[in-house]
Amino acid sequence: MKRVVILSNQAFSLVNFRGSLIKELTHSGHEVIAMAPDISPALQNELMKLGAKSEHIPLSRTGLNPWIDFTNMVFLAFRLRNIKPDILLSYSIKPVIFGVLAAWIVRVPLRVALIEGLGYVFTPTTEKMSLMRRTLGILVRCLYWIALKGAHTVIFLNRDDAQEFINGYLVSESKVVVLGGIGVDLDEWAYTPVPFGEICFIMVARLLREKGVNEYLAAAKLVKAQYPSARFVLLGALDINPGALRIEEIKQWVDAGVLEWPGHVDVKMWLKKSSVFVLPSYREGIPRSTQEAMSIGRAVISTNVPGCRETVEEGVNGFLVPARNTTALAQSMLRFVESPALIEAMGIESRRLALERFDVNKVNRRLFTIFGLV
């Protein structure tokens, strides 16, 4: 039996995104301690049902205070020394950087960093980069360079992200594993036929500019000018990230009748009621939301950028468009409106690709191999 610590900076993701892995580990007889800030009693109960213990740690997601980050790392090192895990798996920027450093200090035997996406500071911008963003980018790269020296394995979801870190001398190629999508439960996200009636486009993402929310809204306006009955749904919460949209920006589109924004809802239910999934992001790891939509059997429109291009076979299960190109995005939407037979046919292909590429059970078996548990 091995003792595994899984470290995150968002408590809900331990259940939503790592739940299947935790369940597989505990059912195989291993002990799992899930660590994150602000683990609520409800989440603690959910983790307990999966067989895991949970522990609150003080690790802010977006704060830029180096003293706080340093003291949190020291605290984490003390906790890891007391817990004595055999394996540390950390994901997201701060858990990867400070979690791996803390684990290296106390010599955790196997230290695994999972970099699911490169995030804000690595996402290209068409605007002149601010001094703060340039400084933050340099700082994050330096911290990654230091921390990843202490990792035994660094997992990326797509080859582009891995190559950027290798080319930037942030990680040794010998440590790199490209996993593909983190996977979804294909039974939980079972195929559901597209409903009859008006065509409904749906986007599921945090409300960040780099997710392509503005392009989605602008394209929706263009399509509705020609086909007023087409529906456009946006599912996602407001965020504290520097690239976040303000609530006023979203509400103006709702008030104009272009957009439906139902707030915090059951994503699965809304995906089942949708026709086509849209994610015009500027960069991703491999988006979980797209994997879920594909598993349910929805055609996809996404961008030809790292992480997104891995979810679409052009003309088979959907269409790829250039990032930041509202016109191309609207044209792809119009293809579905004007040829609705494509929706079901491409949705079936999405399910097929999800079965091939995004089965969480296959992904977990690979992770078990990386952890040395098989």
How many Cα atoms within 13 Å fall on the side-chain side of residue 299? 27
Give the separation between CA 14 and CA 19, rounded to whole angstroms: 6
Q: Contact 296/192 with Cβ under 8 angstroms?
A: yes
Give the separation between CA 271 and CA 289, rounded to whole angstroms: 10
> Which class would CATH give 3-183+359-370?
alpha beta
Strands 299-303 and 276-279: parallel
Maximal C-alpha separation, the chain: 64
Q: What are the DSSP calls for 277-311, one per residue?
A: EEE--S--SS-HHHHHHHHHT-EEEEESSTTTGGG
Quote the pLDDT of residue 48.
96
Chain region(s) in the chain for CATH 3.40.50.2000: 3-183+359-370, 200-357
Quote the pLDDT of residue 244.
78
* Residues paired with residue 33 on neighbouring β-strands, in sequence order: 5, 53
pLDDT, tens digit, 9 for 90 and up, residues 122-152: 776 666 667 777 788 888 899 999 999 999 9
Q: Contact 93/119 with Cβ under 8 angstroms?
A: yes
Quote the pLDDT of residue 62.
66
Give the separation between CA 54 and CA 47, rounded to whole angstroms: 7
| 200-357, CATH topology level | Rossmann fold (3.40.50)
Quote the pLDDT of residue 126.
60
Quote the pLDDT of residue 327.
97
The sheet that has 176-178: what strands, in order across it?
A: 53-56, 31-36, 3-7, 87-91, 110-115, 153-156, 176-178
Quote the pLDDT of residue 125.
66
- Please identify every stretch of the chain with a pLDDT value under 70, giving residue numbers as ranges: 61-64, 120-121, 124-129, 240-242
Quote the pLDDT of residue 120.
66
* Residues paired with residue 321 on neighbouring β-strands, in sequence order: 303
